[in-house]
Amino acid sequence: SKDEAAEKGTSPEETIKEEEEEELIPAKATEEEPAKEPTGVPTPTAKPGASKVGKIDLAALGLIKSRQQATKKSATFTDIRDNQSSRRRDHRARQRDRMKARKAGTMPPKHVSTVERKKDVILDYPVTVRSFSAAAGIPINELLRLLMTLGAATNQNANLDSATVELLATETGINVQIKEEADAEEGLMEEIQAARSTVDPESLGPRPPVITFLGHVDHGKTSLVDAIRESRIAQKEAGGITQHIGAYTAALADGRKVTVLDTPGHEAFTAMRARGAQTTDIAVLVVAANDGVMAQTEEAANHAKSAGVPIVVAINKMDVAGANADQVKSQLSGIGIQTEDWGGEIGAVEVSALQKKGIEELLERVLLEAEVLDLKAHSTGDAMGVILESKVEKGKGKVAHALVQDGTLKVKDVVLAGPTFGKIRLMFDADGKPMKSAGPSTPVEILGLEELPIVGEKFYAVKDIKAAKEVAVKRAERRQDRERAKQSGTTAQALMEQIDESLAARIRYVLKGDVQGSVEVLSETLIGMSTEEVKVDVIHSGVGAVTETDVNLAEAADAVVIGFHVVPDSKTRKTAERAHVEIRRYDVIYDLIEDTEKAILGSLAPKEEEKIVGHADVLQVFRSSRWGSIAGSKVTDGILSRNCHARLIRDGAVIYEAPFASLRHFKDDVREVKEGNECGIKIQDFEDIKAGDVIEAFIMVEKERTLEELQAIQQDDASTDGEEVSEG
């Protein structure tokens, strides 16, 4: 300041210069001499323009600022006060502009996205709220609010399933295309197609037909396969029923061959029947002559129609009492299967698998259909086909049952099958004999894949094992992403379901089986048996023997271990005994379903039902200072008891319900009053009783629950929900 400068004998300009240098170039602090605080300059916490010692000359202040601005280019130190002042000035300027715009009616929206919204976007899979926002140019918060209003509350990093993405696209008016990362796969598939295009055209020739036996359980499908192959498969099957797809080659008397697929008939194996129908050339619909058309008969016929394959009907068990082929044909016409006898084009052959009658006629009809189809395939070139079944077999490891559809599959071929791959080490035919190669329409057993392939997947023989591995890994990752997408994201409905499930009793299983197809079917069947009150969970499922890991998992989850056609070793049994974990072994799906039904029923709370035990007419009402309104009544039917509940009915309408407070016969308190007797009735906490009222006595009795009753309730609820959705 000027006063300080005068005391020191220096000019104001020299003082200002010294202060400026001290401010812009702070002194380095040392241990011996700490840095001196600049004098005459406000600290950063002080208000700009104010000094500790008072006001400074405006001219001097202007000189300071001009010199500071001149030295800013070379100085590395930034004055905090200038930044704060600048921000305040900018903020006040923006406020003034907004006030003017508001008065002029030209106020812009408060939140305006600077990102341009797009009408067409391509999204990489998996899709998250964040990636959708970035691609579409829509703020994340806006998308989250939209999802909330749609009942799909989630977070910005959650994976969205295709249905939710489609819903978002519709609501925002954007055309969305989801692009899956499949560059490596596309390249490999192009190589496969290119290799197949170079196959010698001369190698294209006739191939054996693939015929699939479909129909209801226990109608004799496997027995027909045995009759054709002269084998005894049916005698070896547990419970006498087929529980997985079987593929066999049959050589006929004239040297021709047919490939036979045998499918399960039990209602639980719907997916297997569908796969069989999709894989086959000709469907043989087997119907027992004594049973006629059943539920799975119609379902199997629909699978064949959906697959677009010709149908031949085999009316089996013609040797059984009560067999009626005409009635079967009539029933078939009722489900859209018009046989030749009924003016249609579908052949129907009467057979007896047990007596081997009509087998030749059935095969002739099948081969006639095959001639019309003119089935051909390449006998050379890289093979392709479909996975029928997979399992873990002792002494062999991971085994895949496959059907070669084109080309020739050889030992040491590299195979890509869905999310797995491998080099074939060994191959076996349907009878377990080693094979070096397998041509079109040949069922084979393959050893050498890294993991169990998914049933129903296509397989391809490829040249490059590295490319096969890359594609398999990518497919496995996408499969995991899809599973995570299903589980991530919380909707209001899912939240309510979680709350409902938390209140339900639970039956937990660890499921192990001999083949993947059966494990899938059993898992879906068991979970599908859940009711609103009892949930059935399969916390883990797999192919192979029961292991100690399975037992430990069951112990932690309080679950039962199920072994379907597989058994634990002695070490695993001892582990289970120590852990008090129950291991159950089943060979037939019926037994597993029956035991699960019993477990569900055992977990159900008993149902209470109302039972009416008597009625009384109110003849006269008495008033008592002690008891209040007493109904002088006569029992018209049944018995009125003190442990009953009373229901007061007036003019046909229920007025009140409560327990009996007292029953009196003349002056005596009684436990019950029988039909024809008069009594005084006091209903608990009720005074508005009138002559002419009717008192109905009832009790609540416990009734055992049935699974059919629960399933009927669930079906009614499902149909009601469907009606509400359709109305909406």
Ranges of each domain in the chain: 120-179, 206-376, 384-481, 501-602, 607-703
Judge whether residue 15 has pLDDT over 50.
no
> To which H or E segment does residue 316 belong?
strand 311-316
For the stretch 18-30, pLDDT in tens is: 444 444 444 444 4
User: Do the domains spanning 384-481 and 607-703 agree at the CATH topology level?
Assistant: yes
Contact (CB, 8 A) for 349 and 289 = no
Q: Where are the alpha helices (DSSP H) in 153-294?
A: 162-172, 183-197, 221-229, 233-236, 270-279
User: Which has more pLDDT, 95 or 165?
Assistant: 165
For the stretch 667-680, pLDDT in tens is: 888 999 999 999 99
- The pLDDT of residue 713 is 58
Judge whether residue 300 has pLDDT over 60.
yes
Judge whether residue 271 has pLDDT over 80.
no
Judge whether residue 155 has pLDDT over 90.
no
DSSP-assigned states of every residue in 2-19: HHHHHHHT--HHHHHHHH
User: Which has more pLDDT, 685 or 43?
Assistant: 685
For the stretch 388-430, pLDDT in tens is: 888 888 788 888 989 999 999 999 999 999 899 999 999 998 8
For the stretch 462-507, pLDDT in tens is: 988 988 888 888 888 777 766 665 555 444 444 444 444 454 678 8
Candidates 2.40.30.10, 1.10.1060.10, 1.10.520.20, 3.40.50.300; correct CATH number of 607-703? 2.40.30.10
User: Which has more pLDDT, 596 or 648?
Assistant: 648
- The pLDDT of residue 649 is 94
**End-to-end CA distance of the chain, in Å?**
82
Query: 329-333, 486-490, 615-619, 658-662: which range is least confident on average?
Result: 486-490
Task: Please give the CATH topology (third level) of the domain spanning 206-376.
Answer: Rossmann fold (3.40.50)
Across all residues in the chain, what is the average pLDDT? 76
Residues 186, 253: Cα–Cα separation, whole Å: 45
DSSP-assigned states of every residue in 428-496: E-TTS-EESEE-TTEEEEEEEESSPPPTT-EEEEES-HHHHHHHHHHHHHHHHHHHHHHHSS--HHHHH
Query: 42-51, 320-329, 401-410: which range is least confident on average?
Result: 42-51
| pTM, full prediction | 0.55
Judge whether residue 5 has pLDDT over 60.
no
Query: C-alpha 661: how far from its chain's center?
Result: 54
User: Which has more pLDDT, 151 or 361?
Assistant: 361
Compute the average pLDDT of residues 633-641.
93
| Residue of 240, 218, 372 whose CA lies nearest to 291 | 218
Compute the average pLDDT of residues 123-141.
80
Candidates 3.30.70.100, 1.10.3720.10, 1.10.357.10, 2.40.30.10; correct CATH number of 384-481? 2.40.30.10
Judge whether residue 31 has pLDDT over 60.
no
Query: 299-303, 370-374, 686-690: which range is least confident on average?
Result: 299-303
Alpha-carbon distances of 656 from 629, 648, 649, rounded to whole Å: 14, 5, 8
Task: Please give the CATH topology (third level) of the domain spanning 501-602.
Answer: Rossmann fold (3.40.50)
User: Which has more pLDDT, 173 or 462?
Assistant: 462
User: Which has more pLDDT, 587 or 202?
Assistant: 587
Compute the average pLDDT of residues 443-449.
93
- The pLDDT of residue 76 is 42
For the stretch 72-90, pLDDT in tens is: 444 444 444 455 556 566 6
Query: 58-62, 374-378, 647-651: which range is least confident on average?
Result: 58-62
